[in-house]
Homo-oligomer: A and B are copies of this chain.
Amino acid sequence: MSGLGFQVSMVDGNARRGQLTTAHGTAETPAFMAVGTAATVKGLTVEQVAASGTEIVLGNTYHLMLRPSAERIARLGGLHRFMNWHGPILTDSGGYQVMSLSALRKIDEKGVTFSSHIDGTKHALTPERAVEIQHLLDSNITMVLDECTPFPVEEDEAERSMERSMRWAARCKEAFTARDGYGLFGIVQGSVYPALREASAKALTAIGFDGYAIGGLAVGEGQELMLSTLEATVPFLPLDRPRYLMGVGKPSDLVAAVLRGVDMFDCVLPTRSGRTGQAFTHRGTLNIRNSRHQDDPRPLDQDCACPTCGNYSRAYLHHLFRNGEMLGPILLTGHNLHYYQSLMAGLRKAIEDREILAFADTFTRTQAEGDIAPL
């Protein structure tokens, strides 16, 4: 029996409406996880994160192992208590950040060694250590250590890398301490090669995990190739376990991936964009730094129920960004995360109503309208 509960209550085409249950509560799926890299969703209090509709938060093993260290967080009572987020937490394995952030990295069958991007100190990450770190963090959902291939990559190199990731996945399963309300997810690799994706999905299913992630996408291949790879992967994953598309994505990516049977997502886009001035709305994106907003008394999104849209004008948000005031990123991040979560809530409702295709059509048409005209 799995450590994590997962119930699919309704399907509409390939889209699934479900519930994921952990020792720290339940997340309705399809779910968007807010990224809380260094034990904080950048710019927001946990109360604001919860108010956005977020039910599950992601922490980064790579960042947390370097600072403040997994052992320190364990001594302080685990990540939930440390960051005061008492809902479900998923942690990545650190593999992706080792590749994208660290210097002097060396990878072999045993694992990866690298130098910290913060202070140059040397660190090692093996499948066993990645699982141990996530255990120390008290993460509800542990991700296996994998190697994320860049894009593009030759098929034979992608195959060798995927096969190593599968061996690492088996070692992670071995190292993982099964316990109620906690689980371990495998990660499908294989770049954009359907045969490799199928082989990877089957290899993971044979090992047996609490959930299955699709990794190695959203690394520059573009939406079309991402979706076709998804279509070549999902059919080989178990029906009764959650599917998590890692690091994705734009609102249109979420809609398209839900249509293809994905249950979970994470992405820095709503929070990072919130800090740089880009807002997501029902009518596409806008940049609040643009001077067209400086006298505009209207909210970012007239169809949004978030506190930012309820209380603040575009003119005020523009003013805050123009002056470098912290409140600008705070209010915009809150809005963006709320927008993402309301999109997920809309997708969940559409699946319940078996209207997912109509929902997706309306979404696409409304997004294409573009921002409201200036006053």
Contact = CB atoms under 8 A, between A and B. Distances in A.
A323 interface: yes
Contacts of A326: 40, 42-43, 326, 329-330
Number of copies: 2
Among A42, A63, A319, A331, the most chain B Cβ lie within 10 Å of the Cβ of A319
B77 A297 contact: yes
Contacts of A76: 295, 297, 313, 315-316
A327 B67 contact: no
A319 B67 contact: yes
A294 B72 contact: yes
A38 B38 CA distance: 30
Nearest to A72: B295
A42 B327 CA distance: 7
Nearest to A312: B84
B316 A82 contact: yes
B68 A315 contact: yes
Contacts of A316: 39, 76, 82-84
A320 interface: yes
Contacts of A171: none
A45 interface: yes
Contacts of A67: 319, 322-323
A325 interface: yes
A311 B315 CA distance: 34
A38 B319 contact: yes
A44 interface: yes
B83 A315 contact: no
A296 to B, nearest CB: 9
Given A42-B325, A45-B331, A82-B313, 9 more contacts: A38-B319, A38-B325, A40-B320, A40-B326, A40-B327, A43-B327, A72-B315, A76-B315, A326-B326
Interface of A: 38-40, 42-45, 63, 67-68, 72, 75-77, 82-84, 294-295, 297, 311-313, 315-316, 318-320, 322-323, 325-327, 329-331
30 contacts: A38-B323, A38-B325, A40-B325, A40-B327, A42-B326, A43-B327, A43-B330, A44-B327, A45-B331, A63-B323, A67-B319, A67-B322, A67-B323, A68-B294, A68-B318, A68-B319, A68-B322, A72-B294, A72-B295, A72-B315, A75-B295, A76-B313, A76-B315, A77-B297, A82-B313, A82-B315, A82-B316, A84-B311, A326-B329, A330-B330
